[in-house]
Structure 1
Amino acid sequence: MSISTALAAKIVWLLGIVAWYVIRYPFERRAKRVRVVTDRRSLLDRVGLVSAVLGMAVLPAIYVFTGFPDTADYPARWWAVVLGAAIVVAGLWTFRRSHKELGRNWSITLEIRDEHRLISSGPYALVRHPMYTSFFLIALGQLFLLPNWFAGPIGLVGFAVLFFVRVAKEERMMLETFGPQYTTYMGRTKRLIPYIY
């Protein structure tokens, strides 16, 4: 029995989401044990997080499991599945490396933790926000994996809302916390894409 291209794409997308959760879970558990000293969570921050979850998990999952909205489908291509899978794998690798480098500093929201330090190694040597880079890559992979004019690109929309709602606030918080050290770091790194942006 041969597997259809569209089904293979959906399976790859689903495996990517499961892998994302498996990577994040232990860091989320550990983070709860480290005291928060500065908390900049806001309603707008929550809007960004909800947008990302809707665009990169909930709405595509509805499509994967129900086919809705099938009127927006287009033919799945093997080359797109392979390309999408490779992009998602790159995103997951970046996601894991970002968590590993941050260690006890990691937080799902805008927080500074006890004994927080500026991380500038690993993927942080190239970009200031590699966690967002990983989300961008996973959302881009979704675009290639889900052959649907709604479910494919909605991940990029969710990512964009999260990124543009939070990144400036996050950088202000880091400047307040680390001062000239962060200013120097900003001068030698890009925000999201190495050497470009």
Structure 2
Amino acid sequence: MSVASIGEIVWVIGIIAWYVIRYPFERRAKRVRVMSSRRSASDTIGLAAALAGLAILPGLYVATGIPAFADYTGRPWSVGLGGVIFALALWTFRRTHKELGRNWSISLEIREKHQLICGGPYALVRHPMYTSFLLMGVGQLFLLSNWVAGLVGVLGFAVLFFLRVSKEERLMLEFFGPEYRAYMDRTKRIIPYIY
């Protein structure tokens, strides 16, 4: 078995694990009433870009080998590093969902009895879910020995992040006011102590 094939297998296992983590929280969230929704076309575009870049397009590459022109020789260090980064992404993703609990939503929504969460990964960054997506994209870049399939994850994340994060923060400021402003002052957006 080639190093590139091992990277693809690790990526597939990571995507399955991502869905296994997300599914129960998605089911539970549907039972909690939405008090305010800011769904928009840009929200849908961002989610679609992330899904395409982190799952659909690399999945097509793994299944078909297309686009073969962008293939390069896989290296053990790259697959190892990609696996560690992807595992860290999954750990962050799970911790984020656990901390959010009933507050979690796939789109920009305030749920009944919504609370500001500041513990766990939220003590370090305001948007650890986005941190997990960034880590997934970087892990994918190292796992898949194809420039196109590797890069689309980071690009899909970037579209989602830049279309949504400011809107999300405005919604939190509207709902939580000075409490969220103070939280913003003591945390970074997605990279602890940096950004």
Please report the TM-score for the alignment, with normalisation by the length of structure 2: 1.00
1:6 and 2:4 correspond: yes
State the partner residue of 2:189.
191
Deviations 1:111-135 (A, max 9, x none): 0000000000000000000000000
State the partner residue of 1:95.
93
Q: Which amino acid counterpart does residue 125 of structure 1 have in structure 2?
A: A
Distance 1:47 1:145 in 2: 26
1:178 and 2:176 correspond: yes
State the partner residue of 2:53.
55
Classify the secondary structure of the residue corresponding to 2:147: coil
Q: Which amino acid counterpart does residue 71 of structure 1 have in structure 2?
A: F
Please report the TM-score for the alignment, with normalisation by the length of structure 1: 0.99
State the partner residue of 2:128.
130
1:72 and 2:67 correspond: no
State the partner residue of 2:161.
163
Aligned with 1:116 (options 110, 114, 117): 114
Shift of 1:4: 1.1
Q: Which amino acid counterpart does residue 58 of structure 1 have in structure 2?
A: I
Distance 2:83 2:17 in 1: 12
Shift of 1:80: 0.2
RMSD: 0.3
Classify the secondary structure of the residue corresponding to 1:37: strand
For structure 1, which runs of at least 5 residues remain unmatched after alignment? none
Shift of 1:83: 0.1
Shift of 1:95: 0.1
Shift of 1:72: 0.7
State the partner residue of 1:33.
31
Distance 1:149 1:135 in 2: 18
Number of residue equivalences: 195
Moved over 4 A (4+): none
Shift of 1:35: 0.2
Shift of 1:149: 1.2
State the partner residue of 1:149.
147
Classify the secondary structure of the residue corresponding to 1:7: helix
Deviations 1:100-155 (A, max 9, x none): 00000000000000000000000000000000000000110000001111000110
